[in-house]
Amino acid sequence: MRVIAVLAAGLFLASCGSNPLTRALDTRQNAGPCPPVAALYDASRIVELGAEEPIYPNIAYTGEITGVELFCRYVEDEPLRAEVEIDFAFGKGPMADANSHQYSYWIAVTRRSSKVLAKQYFAVDANFANGVVDGRREVVQDIIIPRVDETISGANFEVIVGFDLTEDQLAFNREGRRYRLDAGN
């Protein structure tokens, strides 16, 4: 997984859902590169605790962004249209109280190494009825990257994804702490 720092790009984010047919029917070569996309390292994992002390027996739910891909389309001088596919892995710990859980995540468009132009929040559901681990691919379509004209390349932007974390969860990640439910203690 590539890691990219956040501070740049622009866009309008819209609906969730997959439409691979649209991409498959348009066989024209792109006039330029798609923006790079990655999960922000500090926000690529989430550990939700059922009790205050951050120890393994207190884990309720975990999540990790395991992959991100972006597909885009240049059409003359129009804004870039993009689709982001995000792979998630979810875990259920000893303190979990349900066989399903909803996780919040965001997608941001930035100008390369600059400010966030747009950020939108989404939710993904995990189902643990058949065990303690669930994986899911989410597709977010119709991301609009507002380039001014056809001379502006997608390489001038970045698309970054991450979990919507509390301050404590962000500090946990920045301290390098990590729990994997399949690794034992």
**Has residue 1 got a pLDDT over 50?**
no
143 touches 159 (CB < 8 A): yes
Residue spans of the domains in the chain: they are 20-174
The predicted model scores a pTM of 0.78
**Taking the mean position of all CA atoms in its chain, how far away is CA 18?**
15
Does 36 or 77 have the greater pLDDT score?
36
At residue 15, the pLDDT reads 30
Confidence label for 105 from pLDDT (cuts 50, 70 and 90): very high
For the ranges 20-24, 106-110, 125-129, the lowest mean pLDDT is seen at 20-24
Cβ-contact 101, 161 below 8 angstroms: no
Higher pLDDT, 148 or 155: 155
